[in-house]
């Protein structure tokens, strides 16, 4: 069974295809600049060089057709025709309160997504466009939806409700929803494996730090609280998003500068965060480089980011009543020692002690690492996320009838013997150039290969 995963954004279509029987990815890529001219696809099949093809894609349907054409191409494709695809999994950012797990898509499901579009106007509409285009191009193949928000449906009302007029919740479903759910699900299960604990007796704080960022409090294996809220704007300072701030500031500036809600929304989502503080940079690598060259506002951005992550770690540790581990994941979480160190420094009183040398060494997307001191009461792990693996396993479970909410569903990656062989191979090659990585590998099987 080969499963195609699609993630449709406003101007892009990311994809991957996975061979479920062989438990291995076959290819992945992205179509960029959909609908804005100059479209192209970047495609990489396992064991082969990346290829780029320029082709205009005015719509998502054109982009998905380009994906199909590329996957079936005689030279760099991985399947002969569409008969080689058994199912398609779609990322849907917002599932509201209606969806607590992944679902098979039909007309009623699409209509429900449309009703939820007002909750995620930047995300759900392109998700829906991609689903409809894919169903039109592949009508005989079952399509499934995997929701970012589903993982967080276990939060208690005390965590997800806002101190706002209650009728707003009743009329408009205004509440905290949270995002990055598939990433948190994967890393929570993997952290329990590394701790050698029952996942439902494990308390964690997971920091998904990338251009978009959020923190998740996990209590007894379930999402208990999270920093993103009604939209992905709330919480941590991000690449271009403001995160937490006094909402009166927006009203004040709107009045002073005669800005409308749409303009303020664009400023808070696209012109704030690291970009707003530095005035130049949104990418963490650029900010770190600028800080290293003595730019004070770049250093300020790093200090602000670290301070906010630290505040959430402290708050969430109190909320869940003590933690077993702090986990870092996503682009910056996996590859940003400076951000991790800034967030953890000074937390010794909580039993959280990060080893500076291990932290500096840990820069890999191919292995789980342990960067905690030997005397740390709380483990500190860096776990490369694998959202697509969650996609694939949910789709496979829906196909064979075994799927259920994560408390009643057996993911392969929640077992101690789970291996990602492609990552293992990449890690082995990486260790040839940087042998010290072996000293921080958290998985006993990786240690055994030394």
The one catalytic residue among 148, 324, 370, 386: 148
How crowded is residue 196: how many other Cβ atoms within 10 Å of its Cβ? Answer: 8
Task: Give the number of residues written for the chain.
Answer: 450
- Token readout for 388 is 């697509």
Structural domains of the chain sorted by starting position, each given as residue range(s) with its CATH number in brackets:
2-147 (3.30.420.40), 181-382 (3.30.420.40)
The answer to whether residue 124 scores a pLDDT higher than 90 is: no
Tens of pLDDT, residues 73-114: 988 899 998 998 999 999 888 888 888 899 999 999 999 888
Q: How far apart are CA 187 and CA 387, in angstroms?
A: 9
How would residue 23 be classed by pLDDT, with cut points 50, 70 and 90?
confident
Tens of pLDDT, residues 370-405: 999 999 999 999 999 999 899 999 999 999 999 999
Q: Long-range contacts for 253-261 (Cβ within 8 Å, ≥24 apart)? A: none
Tens of pLDDT, residues 163-182: 999 999 999 999 999 999 99
Residue 445 pLDDT: 55
Tens of pLDDT, residues 307-349: 999 999 999 999 999 999 999 999 899 999 999 999 999 999 9
- Helices H / strands E in the chain, number of each: 17, 14
How crowded is residue 445: how many other Cβ atoms within 10 Å of its Cβ? Answer: 12
Strand positions, DSSP E, 33-188: 40-45, 51-54, 87-92, 103-104, 143-147
Cα–Cα nearest to 406, from 106, 201, 182: 182
The whole-number average pLDDT for the span 13-36 is 89
Cα–Cα nearest to 149, from 198, 193, 116, 114: 116
Q: How far apart are CA 342 and CA 326, in angstroms?
A: 14
Q: How far is CA 311 from CA 342, 347, 369, in A?
A: 12, 10, 23
Residue 333 pLDDT: 96
How would residue 448 be classed by pLDDT, with cut points 50, 70 and 90?
very low
Residue 395 pLDDT: 95
pTM metric for this prediction: 0.92
| Percent of residues, the chain, with pLDDT higher than 90 | 76
Of 235-249, 287-301, 411-425, the poorest mean pLDDT is in: 411-425
Q: How far is CA 261 from CA 237, 257, 415, in A?
A: 21, 12, 48
* Pairwise pLDDT comparison (449 vs 281), residue with the higher score: 281
How crowded is residue 81: how many other Cβ atoms within 10 Å of its Cβ? Answer: 10
**Burial of 125 by CB count in 10 Å (0-12 exposed, 13-18 middle, 19+ buried)?**
middle
Residue 450 pLDDT: 43
Degrees to nearest 5, angle at CA 228 with 222 and 234: 160
| Residue 333: its H or E element | helix 330-335
Would you call 148 a catalytic residue per the annotation? yes
Residue 447 pLDDT: 43
Given the DSSP bridges, would you call strands 379-382 and 325-329 parallel, antiparallel or unpaired?
parallel
Q: What is the mean pLDDT of the chain?
A: 92
């Amino acid at each position: 069974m080969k499963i195609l995963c699609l993630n449709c954004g406003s101007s892009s279509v990311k994809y991957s295809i996975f061979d479920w029987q062989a438990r291995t990815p076959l290819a992945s890529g992205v179509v960029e600049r959909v609908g804005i001219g100059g479209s192209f696809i970047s495609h990489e099949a396992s064991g082969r060089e990346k290829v780029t093809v320029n082709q205009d894609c005015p719509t998502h349907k054109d982009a998905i057709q380009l994906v199909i054409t590329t996957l079936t191409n005689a030279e760099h494709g991985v399947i002969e025709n569409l008969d080689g695809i058994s199912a398609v999994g779609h990322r849907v950012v917002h599932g509201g309160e209606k969806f607590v797990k992944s679902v098979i898509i039909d007309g009623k499901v699409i209509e429900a997504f449309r009703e939820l579009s007002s909750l995620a106007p930047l995300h759900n509409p392109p998700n829906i466009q991609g689903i409809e285009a894919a169903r039109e191009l592949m009508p005989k193949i079952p399509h499934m939806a995997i929701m970012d928000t589903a993982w967080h449906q276990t939060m208690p009302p005390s965590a997800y409700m806002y101190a706002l007029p209650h009728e707003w919740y009743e009329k408009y479903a205004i509440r905290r929803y949270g995002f990055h759910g598939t990433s948190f699900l994967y890393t929570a299960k993997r952290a329990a494996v590394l701790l050698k604990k029952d996942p439902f007796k494990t308390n964690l704080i997971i920091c998904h730090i990338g251009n978009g960022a959020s923190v998740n409090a996990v209590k007894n294996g379930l999402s208990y609280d999270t920093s993103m809220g009604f939209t992905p704007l709330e919480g941590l300072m991000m690449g271009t998003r403001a995160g937490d701030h006094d909402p009166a500031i927006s009203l004040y500036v709107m009045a002073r500068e005669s800005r409308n809600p749409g303009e303020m929304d664009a400023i808070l989502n696209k012109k704030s965060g690291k970009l707003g503080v530095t005035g130049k940079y949104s990418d963490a690598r650029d900010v770190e480089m600028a800080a290293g060259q003595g730019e004070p506002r770049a250093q300020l951005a790093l200090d602000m980011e670290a301070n906010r992550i630290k505040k959430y770690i402290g708050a969430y540790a109190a909320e869940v009543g003590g933690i077993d581990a702090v986990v870092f994941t996503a682009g910056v979480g996996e590859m940003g020692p400076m951000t991790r160190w800034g967030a953890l420094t000074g937390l010794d009183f909580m039993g959280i002690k990060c080893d500076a040398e291990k932290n500096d060494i840990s820069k890999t997307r191919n292995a789980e690492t342990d960067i905690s001191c030997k005397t740390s009461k709380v483990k500190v792990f860096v776990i490369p996320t694998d959202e697509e693996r969650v996609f694939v396993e949910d789709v496979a479970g829906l196909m064979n009838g075994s799927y259920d909410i994560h408390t009643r569903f057996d993911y392969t990656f929640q077992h101690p013997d789970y291996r990602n062989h492609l990552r293992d191979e990449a890690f082995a090659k990486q260790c040839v150039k940087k042998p010290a990585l072996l000293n921080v590998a958290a998985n006993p099987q990786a240690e055994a290969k030394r």
